[in-house]
Amino acid sequence: MKKLSIACILVVYIAAFILQGPAFAGGIFKFRGEGASAIFTSVDGSGCVWTDVYLNPNEGVFQSPPGKGTLSSGVYMYITQYDVCTDTQLLAAEGSASLADSDFQVFGNLSSATLDAVVTLYDYVSGTYFDVFVDLTWTGTGSINRQSSNSHFSSPGCKFHSRFNGSFRPAVATGTVSDGVTNYTPEPSWGYDIYSARNGEVFIGCN
């Protein structure tokens, strides 16, 4: 599952990069860079309110040959809170933000990473926006694993090919994700990893 998650993350980022441009009938899109992901789960003192946080910061170069690569850094995250005692969804928020070079950094041979950012989230329960302040450190907990894959997809008027090469190290993230009142990450994360990857995709048709 962890290997697949990295490849899927890169597909999402390349898709987002493509959508920034005009409609296309085909093209080649490449990404190379580094990222991290983490999942946090905690429960309050009553045993009723469960909180889940997921986030994925990423930085790298997107390229659509023959054009030059575009350096981009950003983070996506969501937070959910659910009261199992009353069967009530309290919070269901997600958002993303662009990052400055210093906001997200990966060190050593995927040995650690840091994220210091402010992310605006939209809560689907209340219909409101709010900011969270993220201050997290990832620490590698295992050896580096490597993955490579090729995938193909074909349908009338659309052909797609993807090639992925990546390295990832299991990691634990610690720190705070806070709205200024509530720290949504009081416990260390239970996954996932710090990674580096190269991904290329070819589209033919696919309007």
pLDDT tens digits, residue range 84-97? 999 999 999 999 99
pLDDT at 13: 44
**CA-CA distance, 142 to 116, in Å (whole number)?**
24
- Extract the tokens encoding 73: 């850094």
Q: How sure is the predictor about 153, in pLDDT bands with cuts at 50, 70 and 90?
A: confident
10 Å CB burial of residue 193 (0-12, 13-18, 19+) is: buried
**Of residues 200 and 124, more confidently modeled:** 124
| Of residues 110, 75, 108, 76, the one with CA closest to residue 194 | 110
pLDDT at 89: 97
Q: How sure is the predictor about 12, in pLDDT bands with cuts at 50, 70 and 90?
A: very low
Question: What are the phi and psi torsion angles at 14 (to 5°)?
Answer: -65, -40
CB atoms within 10 A of CB 176: 14
Q: What is the mean pLDDT of the chain?
A: 84
pLDDT at 32: 85
Question: What are the phi and psi torsion angles at 9 (to 5°)?
Answer: -60, -45
Q: At 5, which helix (H) or strand (E)?
A: helix 2-19
Output the pTM of the full model. Answer: 0.78
**CA-CA distance, 9 to 50, in Å (whole number)?**
25
**CA-CA distance, 182 to 184, in Å (whole number)?**
6
Query: 166: which residues sit within 8 A by CB, 6+ positions away?
Result: 6, 7, 10, 146, 147, 148, 195, 196, 197, 198, 199
